[in-house]
């Protein structure tokens, strides 16, 4: 996410004095709630969906995720790269390419 966007999210929260409501557990709950709303966009069809509604719900997930990163003092690039390294070790290309099995089943 661009720094300008991150700053905009932070300013939005700060201007409204909402940080007081942003405990890690409240933010985690909000991420799950918004992710469920994102999933609802595909409830009855995998092919017919409202792209604008998907964008809105995905943005909500990302905004709450940025708020949680801030609350916990985490860096998105750092934790994503840490997790990608773990995933690359769990799912080596030669064993997992084209296969959707869990790493314990490779």
Indicate which CATH number applies to the domain containing 101.
Answer: 1.10.287.1080
By residue range, what is the domain housing residue 93?
3-105
What HEC string does the chain produce?
Answer: CCHHHHHHHHHHHHHCCCHHHCCHHHHHHHHHHHHHHHHHCCCCCCCCCCHHHHHHHHHHHHHHHHHHHHHHCCCHHHHHHHHHHHHHHHCCHHHHCCCCCCHHHC
Q: pLDDT tens-digit profile of 64-102?
A: 999 999 999 999 999 999 999 999 999 999 999 999 988
Q: pLDDT tens-digit profile of 15-68?
A: 999 999 999 999 999 999 999 999 999 999 999 999 999 999 999 999 999 999
The reported pTM is 0.91
Q: How many domains does the chain have?
A: 1
């Amino acid at each position: 996410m661009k720094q300008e966007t991150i700053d905009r999210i932070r300013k939005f929260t700060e201007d409204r004095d909402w940080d007081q409501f942003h405990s890690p557990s409240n933010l985690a709950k909000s991420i799950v709630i918004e992710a469920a709303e994102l999933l609802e966009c595909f409830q009855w069809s995998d092919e017919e969906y409202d792209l604008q509604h998907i964008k809105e719900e995905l943005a909500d997930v990302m905004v709450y995720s940025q708020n949680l990163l801030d609350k916990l003092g985490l860096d998105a690039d750092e934790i994503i790269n840490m997790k990608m390294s773990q995933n690359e070790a769990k799912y080596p290309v030669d064993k997992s390419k084209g296969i959707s099995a869990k790493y314990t089943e490779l």
